[in-house]
Structure 1
Amino acid sequence: MGKVFKFFLIAVVFITGLESYGQSKTRIVCVGNSITFGSGLKDRTKESYPAQLQTLLGPDYEVLNFGVSGATMLKKGNKPYWNTPEFKQVLNSRPNLVFIKLGTNDSKQINRAQMADFVADYKDMVHTFQQLDTKPKVVLLLPLKAFSDTKFGISGTYLRDSLIAMVQKVAYDEQLELLDLYSLFADKEALLVDKVHPNAVGDGFIAERLHSFVLQKNKAGKDLAKQIKTPIKRSSFYGYEELSFSFKGREALIVSPKLVAKGMPWVWRARFFGHEPQTDIALLERGFHVVYCDVAELFGNAEAIGIWNDFYKSLQKMGFAKKAVMEGMSRGGVYVYNWAATNPDKVACVYADNPVLDLKSWPGGKGKGPGSKDNWAAFLKDYGYANDAEAAEFKGSPIDQIAAIVKGKYPMLHVCGDLDEVVPMAENSLPFAEKIKAAGGNIQLIHKPEGKHHPHSLPNPQPIVDFILKATGY
């Protein structure tokens, strides 16, 4: 009879999960500072991001706010979270998920002498939570962007240049999921009434991001390193594992998410890997892989396409989705579109950023732009032309391959600086978009009215991310 009862208890634990701890709801705990607490809000019990997250998630979840104004992660900071009653409450709360959003107050000058301990102290807090009876998942939140170096003693510059990387290191070393609230607020200064604390609308953006994360249905991925036959170097890409290796004598990279979205979606970055990475980071958060295979400087010729075709085949053997999200900045636009023109059925969508679409414009300099003498010489060699006269009949740019590109029926998004002085829109994205639309293709342009060639992307990549998520069905 005792064995039967014991079996019954095991079954109850297995079936009911949280109810075995006397909980019928998923309990989410928010650890943080004044932003988590809800300082400055008219009604923090309704407007703080934990309160708004509770509203979004509904009755199956219980969200607890343990924010403490002024709190630091540092144990020897000017106000350690470790010494607060709220920290003890967290330990007794039996959480299933813990969001940690600390670090903003650690940027104060008064705490700089202790910053050598920041990573170790952060890891200690993570381990403390992970060792609780409920074995909660711990997720790190990057601090919001602070638009001041003086308000409340908080330094936006120190957050950007030093502290963010420390939090990313913790995420990488401990293999924890990390949400980039910093970029989310890069274009939201108007919502930070005192340059540091968000208003209720700003807290709503945080709540929406956490809500989306909680409901993601991702799973553990494969160990891709076992499927790569050449020597591998492991490193951190903003807190995510990057595998670098050689493919047909070319540098190749694969960055893996902490958890993988169903179907193993991926972004194929062309050229300038790691430059303005905010879109790639946002998609890694959502379970996408990011890959790269260097074919510089072949300007999208047959050799480049052949190498990429083989790289694509190798990724298919690893289980990657059949269709790739193609991402091309500047001359990367040539690479993604020339490959897409040859492989229209393998493309989910294209995100291009101030893209080169006519090689006569750049590097040729045959229009209003300055071009590039050295790169034009490389182009002539790559395509077998002896001189400019022979190259005058060249028809291998994306702008010459409209019919092949629209055949794929995938959506395209271009982010462009209207004042691009290197790759003029009038010779690239504008005529390209007109031809795509005339051929029945689907393309949209995001204009940056005062934007030049640099910087690429958007400080807050959400419009780009939303486009890609919609195009891929996520």
Structure 2
Amino acid sequence: MKILFKYFLILALFISGNQIYAQSKFKIACVGNSITYGSGLKDRLTASYPARLQALLGTSYEVSNFGVSGATMLKKGNKPYWNTPEYQRVLSASPDLIFIKLGTNDSKLINREQMPGFEADYKEMIRTFKALSSKPRVVLLLPIKAFSDEKFGISGSYLKASMIPVIQKIAYEEQLEILDLYSLFADKEALLADKIHPNAVGDNFIALRLESFLRQQTKPGKALSKKISVPLQKEQFYGYEVLNFSFQGRSAKIVQPKKVAKGMPWIWRARFWGHEPQTDIALLERGFHVVYCDVAELFGNPEAIRIWNGFYAYLRKMGFARKAVLEGMSRGGVYVYNWAAANPEKVACVYADNPVLDLKSWPGGKGQGPGSKESWNTFLTDYGYETETAAVVFKGSPIDQIEAIVKGKYPMLHVCGDQDEVVPMSENSLPFAEKIKLAGGDIQLIHKPEGKHHPHSLANPQPIVDFILKATGY
């Protein structure tokens, strides 16, 4: 009898242990439309992005697919997600995390009249989910790019111009994490056979991004506004909070990620705030801060370096990483490289985009390019030249400071349009890269064969982001 009792006791403990183990699984709910559901896939049960995410994460996670083909966020849309059995299943699933990927079908013409209600409906769903007893972490997913304005009634242009800004605004106001799947698919039309739905490779691409997001080591950041003693204003930057304030009489900005990566890494935008921001947004998703201190238009002269030195020290007191990622678009290349030449030990890497590296090329116009007479006159004033003839001896461009630049031993990446008509590669990135390599420096160029000076960056910034993550150890 005692042996039998022991047997049942062990069995009970085993069953109880398994129940505890089952309950300890981290539950993820994927809310969405046909793309989440896996429409068009040969085997959606294994190839949809929720299924692929489950395979990538392993048995300690439980990923559920609550996608509904044709579903809208709009309560008065042509097929409201709110009215589906899947919505009720999400509410009863006790999820720990919910990915929301809705909005694509709301772009249909049939739903446009109801668009004023989109924001309120989206916020209501978020708050309903957050009020669940499991207190889930809610993450918004921007819709992937639609390469058509008519397939299935979905409008890719309306999605980009009208839907995505609203979702980013919602993420900002609700203080939620947001992932930019739109830019991630900007160069992947080949993965969308019908221009709307990704194939199995595309779904796996989404799953990999979500897995990377879930595994990254981040923590809640501190309120930097408390560390800024001067008056400041807060506003939205593509779903993130930006602090605007004055530093030494110059406009300064700090964009805060929703969660901060260990060591508080940051990217320093030199010029043209907010232009082609996809790299900045991708780094915010990964826990980087984005900062800016306007020194236009000083063309990287000693005064610009002095102001930036002060701004760097200011950020360091806030806890920012010792080494900065420098981002220079166009004439911003002069600013980042001249500061890097003066501060080689403070640079993690440089990302430059169609950069000006020889001020005689632009704005001087002393070579193939047209230059800019107005900006050249500003340059002469900034560097104290009374006549153009006197400026012939100028040696303060990045291309003149190769030895100081390579001293930092940081990697450099240039994204260049081979047909740049404003800042010719033959006078800037090409001779600069050759000199850097001869001096033992580390530089690589991404060529855009038909690219001109605009647009800057890459529609899908992943190669740039990968370079920065590798250079910074993330």
TM-score range, shorter chain: over 0.9
The CA distance in 1 between the partners of 2:457 and 2:177, in whole Å, is 24
Counting aligned pairs with the same residue, the percent is 77
The CA distance in 2 between the partners of 1:226 and 1:119, in whole Å, is 30
The CA distance in 1 between the partners of 2:437 and 2:204, in whole Å, is 37
Mapping of residues 11-410 of structure 1, within 5 Å: 23-410=23-410
Tell me the secondary structure at the aligned position of residue 310 of structure 2.
Answer: helix
The CA distance in 2 between the partners of 1:336 and 1:47, in whole Å, is 44
The CA distance in 2 between the partners of 1:169 and 1:296, in whole Å, is 29
1:440 equivalenced with 2:457 (yes/no): no
The CA distance in 2 between the partners of 1:189 and 1:464, in whole Å, is 20
The CA distance in 2 between the partners of 1:309 and 1:20, in whole Å, is 55
Task: Report the CA distance shift for 1:75/1:20 in structure 2 as closer, same or farther (over 3 A).
Answer: farther
Tell me the secondary structure at the aligned position of residue 158 of structure 1.
Answer: helix
Displacement of 1:355 in angstroms is: 0.1
TM superposition score normalised by structure 1: 0.96
The CA distance in 2 between the partners of 1:19 and 1:220, in whole Å, is 32
The CA distance in 1 between the partners of 2:129 and 2:80, in whole Å, is 16
- Structure 1 residues 149-188: Cα deviation after superposition (integer angstroms, max 9, x where no partner): 0000000010010000010011000000000000000000
- 2:3 maps to none
Displacement of 1:222 in angstroms is: 1.1
The CA distance in 2 between the partners of 1:205 and 1:432, in whole Å, is 36
- 2:455 maps to 455
The CA distance in 2 between the partners of 1:247 and 1:21, in whole Å, is 54
- 1:3 maps to none
Moved more, 19-28 or 194-203: 19-28
Please tell me the residue identity of whatever aligns with 2:440. Answer: G
- 1:7 maps to none
- Structure 1 residues 304-349: Cα deviation after superposition (integer angstroms, max 9, x where no partner): 0000000000000000000000000000000000000000000000
The CA distance in 2 between the partners of 1:310 and 1:84, in whole Å, is 56
Displacement of 1:88 in angstroms is: 0.4
- 2:13 maps to none
Displacement of 1:217 in angstroms is: 1.4
- 2:15 maps to none
Displacement of 1:291 in angstroms is: 0.2
Displacement of 1:246 in angstroms is: 0.4
- 1:8 maps to none
The CA distance in 2 between the partners of 1:126 and 1:160, in whole Å, is 22
- Structure 1 residues 346-397: Cα deviation after superposition (integer angstroms, max 9, x where no partner): 0000000000000000000000000000000000000000112110010000
The CA distance in 1 between the partners of 2:24 and 2:232, in whole Å, is 45
- Structure 1 residues 83-110: Cα deviation after superposition (integer angstroms, max 9, x where no partner): 0000000011110010000000000011
Tell me the secondary structure at the aligned position of residue 392 of structure 1.
Answer: helix
- Structure 1 residues 235-292: Cα deviation after superposition (integer angstroms, max 9, x where no partner): 0000000000000000000000000000000000001010000000000000000000
Displacement of 1:24 in angstroms is: 2.0
Please provide the CA RMSD for this pair. Answer: 1.0
Large movers: runs of 4+ above 4 Å = 18-22
Displacement of 1:21 in angstroms is: 10
Tell me the secondary structure at the aligned position of residue 416 of structure 1.
Answer: strand
The CA distance in 2 between the partners of 1:89 and 1:109, in whole Å, is 29
The CA distance in 1 between the partners of 2:381 and 2:170, in whole Å, is 46
Tell me the secondary structure at the aligned position of residue 362 of structure 1.
Answer: coil
The CA distance in 2 between the partners of 1:269 and 1:104, in whole Å, is 32
Task: Report the CA distance shift for 1:222/1:324 in structure 2 as closer, same or farther (over 3 A).
Answer: same
Tell me the secondary structure at the aligned position of residue 261 of structure 2.
Answer: coil
Displacement of 1:33 in angstroms is: 0.1
The CA distance in 2 between the partners of 1:156 and 1:424, in whole Å, is 34
1:465 equivalenced with 2:465 (yes/no): yes
The CA distance in 2 between the partners of 1:19 and 1:265, in whole Å, is 41
Please tell me the residue identity of whatever aligns with 2:80. Answer: P
The CA distance in 1 between the partners of 2:349 and 2:159, in whole Å, is 34
Displacement of 1:455 in angstroms is: 0.2
The CA distance in 1 between the partners of 2:216 and 2:23, in whole Å, is 22
The CA distance in 2 between the partners of 1:195 and 1:268, in whole Å, is 36
Please tell me the residue identity of whatever aligns with 2:416. Answer: C
Tell me the secondary structure at the aligned position of residue 433 of structure 2.
Answer: helix
TM superposition score normalised by structure 2: 0.96
Tell me the secondary structure at the aligned position of residue 168 of structure 2.
Answer: helix
Please tell me the residue identity of whatever aligns with 1:176. Answer: L
The CA distance in 1 between the partners of 2:387 and 2:459, in whole Å, is 41
Tell me the secondary structure at the aligned position of residue 260 of structure 1.
Answer: strand
- Structure 1 residues 415-470: Cα deviation after superposition (integer angstroms, max 9, x where no partner): 00000000000000000000000000000000000000000000000000000000
